[in-house]
Structure 1
């Protein structure tokens, strides 16, 4: 998924409240409950003919949400009662071409890959090759963290639940610079840790590390394991964890980035480095087969006891912001909570700033699930379609303008990054030194070497295996401005870079954009 949101707005999961059966104690005015096998399973009944009515309204709801937002293409599937009850494509695979989205159109599903990864790990737990509480280092002897004791104890489940203490989005910027999976995972050892198992911080490469441990236990690479253990047994022939397979598909949806002129097909997003966390491509038919398996408790592929821990709260991901707000939890690869109707909800969203957004929601107590795939940057359309459907299902009609609600929430995705965003250079400003004072190579153990070179219009900062070039714009004396790009830096991002000088020559620099964990300083 994807990029960090600024400040406290960072990707909030859906609020949830642990099912305790307390809703039964609402007094005489409360509606009658549909009693389960135990009090925590008691819920208000669905409205009469709820499913049929929600399904009938779904096509119009999709277009009413998709159209005003300008999203080029959407695909939706619904499963209920162990069957696929709805599957349809809407709009176009590419905005400037006529080819339609169909049920077979393959999308990049971004962080919806995470619950798929958890499902793969569950197959290996069932096979006895690993356990959720196995120390990941047992299967990955090279695994290191900044605290050796935590590195030795952190389990596959800890990594899958984002509770190891790794910083949020650890390693994402390295991916933007072109580093591969193993190089990024090995560099995680340099990052400071928050309290182990007492903090939650969403991390694509943390979850990837947990998945890699399960693959090592199985003696396979991750991509092959996912195919052999999950995709092939469920008949998910259009699903892959390899970007090359997505590009080879003729019927595929193209990513569309948000621009001032609307959504445009500008980028390709190769997420192979974080494949378990964000690199899967699939279509709604395959995902419907997977949701059917999940709603059956894993049957016929995975015993319930192997999959159930993934559905259970493992970390507090979103504390209620006021006493009456439902908190949210994270399981192993799944968001877990209780919705406004008192029902347990499982799900996940996915987002690529470069042009894709997805959402899945399951009501396991009802045996109903919906998945929504889109080919546009995250503006809340996928989540709004799913929420509108679930409102109709549980309450008979939408309870909010979900397009507006999620649209406002997702606006934070597009806030520029960097300490100079929206600012202008001081007046008067000190002139920069001669370029020769700054040219050359600088080293950084986490981000790798950097080169400051001459460009057509001044100095360039060159970073990473991709040799990403960023112009250094004079700001004030030894301070320069740089405009990072990629998945994690929206348009308008602008950050400072300050050279450290000694004897009239630069001996290092600090790049603010890369310094969130205190690792943004390069030296000669």
Structure 2
């Protein structure tokens, strides 16, 4: 917690890993998830201040392989457009490719296949849009994103435990291991999340001690201990509304905005509030919230999957500072939002209960073979011991297919964007052979059909 350039509280609670004695402290390294975005926009503000780039530079001029579906949008989308999520790319574009193991280069090349919403007139949260902007700035500086972050922010600010490389987090001796909640309510360290492919958007790691330095810098217009770290004007630009992210819920309601790596909102008295959450479904949840006019801010880092805790702690703190007490049960409210979001992303079909009149499948040989898709790459269906398996991605990733009804099977999704059981529907020709297959979980943007050949 920071107030008027002073750290008024810094503390740690709980364990770094369940079943082990090591305690969390101010110097424990956590994965930041999407709290990396306002950190990244601070880095870019530093590059803008150094005249390396400008916020309104076109990304395609800086990153030659960058392209979107519309040529005019490709030529005009700027660093600011991508940091503000207003390029027209659909929500979380490219994330499923990362789940399958594709690298950053492959994902960038395939963003051009994503359908676009109106440019600069729509908002959709995209990790790889922000990542492309960050990498474009690093290319302009003649270095990597990881090195640029070190040179412009982490080292000058004394954030010695902060990194944009997964390996630095992974090798840290004092690190918080990520956890997910089991069906019985207990927590387990089950997954490892390597976010290097989207480093500017979600790949940073840090401690609350280091993040308190960054908070002080943010609240002091780019200065730390009297020293200028980041130029004030380009940093101030990150705090301004760039796009409506949440329309007013009622005619008399207030809209929510997104700036450059920040959620931007205003309270009933017109006070500016800046915030951002970070969430890895595989085991991390973080939050930063600031009231710049009050020179007040808080950073909360946790090593459990998002259930609302980090956001609720920050909301309780800001409420208490403004009103003397929390105005609502934030944990219950925000936890319900996360649960509803998770439920909305799951298939409406309950694949664990086949219909009573389920039709038999064709012979396994009707489904086996290789199917092509320009976005996801080839998909291969094989049969072994009476069981069908599909494989896709560069590794490849393999999924067991379980029959549901007729030509429809299902599989368990995996990775950061897993949504539970999802349908796999084959379609065939008059000869009884399947000629195409559509994967429900991959078809949100109409890109999930694979064709044989």
TM-score (normalised: structure 2): 0.96
Name the counterpart of 1:36.
none
After superposition, residues 375-386 of structure 1 pair within 5 angstroms as: 375-386=303-314
Note if 1:130 corresponds to 2:53: yes
TM-score (normalised: structure 1): 0.83
Name the counterpart of 2:380.
451
Name the counterpart of 1:19.
none
After superposition, residues 250-269 of structure 1 pair within 5 angstroms as: 250-262=173-185, 263-269=187-193
Deviation of 1:169 after TM superposition, in Å, equals 0.5
Q: 1:420 aligns with which of 349, 366, 373?
A: 349
My pick for the range that moved more, 449-458 or 438-447, is 449-458
After superposition, residues 62-77 of structure 1 pair within 5 angstroms as: none
Name the counterpart of 1:292.
216
Name the counterpart of 1:72.
none
Q: 2:392 aligns with which of 463, 473, 487?
A: 463
* Equivalent-residue separation in structure 2 for 1:412 and 1:307 (angstroms): 35
Note if 1:369 corresponds to 2:293: no
Between the two structures, name the one with larger relative contact order (CA 8 Å, sep ≥ 6): 1
Deviation of 1:341 after TM superposition, in Å, equals 5.2
Deviation of 1:446 after TM superposition, in Å, equals 0.5
**Conserved in 2, the CA contact under 8 Å of 1:479 and 1:499?**
no
Note if 1:88 corresponds to 2:17: no
* Equivalent-residue separation in structure 1 for 2:428 and 2:252 (angstroms): 50
Deviation of 1:474 after TM superposition, in Å, equals 1.3
Name the counterpart of 1:433.
362
Name the counterpart of 2:158.
235
Name the counterpart of 2:87.
164
1:376-400 C-alpha deviation (Å, 9 max, x unpaired): 1111111111111111111111111
After superposition, residues 275-354 of structure 1 pair within 5 angstroms as: 275-299=199-223, 300-340=228-268, 342-354=270-282
The aligned length equals 446
**Conserved in 2, the CA contact under 8 Å of 1:353 and 1:413?**
no
What secondary structure sits across from 1:89 in the alignment?
coil
* Equivalent-residue separation in structure 1 for 2:353 and 2:376 (angstroms): 28
1:245-286 C-alpha deviation (Å, 9 max, x unpaired): 111001100111122122211100011111111111100011
After superposition, residues 136-285 of structure 1 pair within 5 angstroms as: 136-262=59-185, 263-285=187-209
What secondary structure sits across from 1:365 in the alignment?
helix
- Give 5+ residue unaligned stretches, structure 2: none
Name the counterpart of 1:390.
318
1:71-94 C-alpha deviation (Å, 9 max, x unpaired): xxxxxxx11111222100001111
**Conserved in 1, the CA contact under 8 Å of 2:281 and 2:305?**
yes
Distance 1:390 1:444, change over 3 A: same
**Conserved in 2, the CA contact under 8 Å of 1:420 and 1:496?**
no
* Equivalent-residue separation in structure 1 for 2:363 and 2:183 (angstroms): 37
Name the counterpart of 2:371.
442
**Conserved in 1, the CA contact under 8 Å of 2:351 and 2:404?**
no
* Equivalent-residue separation in structure 2 for 1:457 and 1:380 (angstroms): 43
Q: CA RMSD in A?
A: 1.4
Q: 1:512 aligns with which of 433, 440, 444?
A: 440
What secondary structure sits across from 1:137 in the alignment?
helix
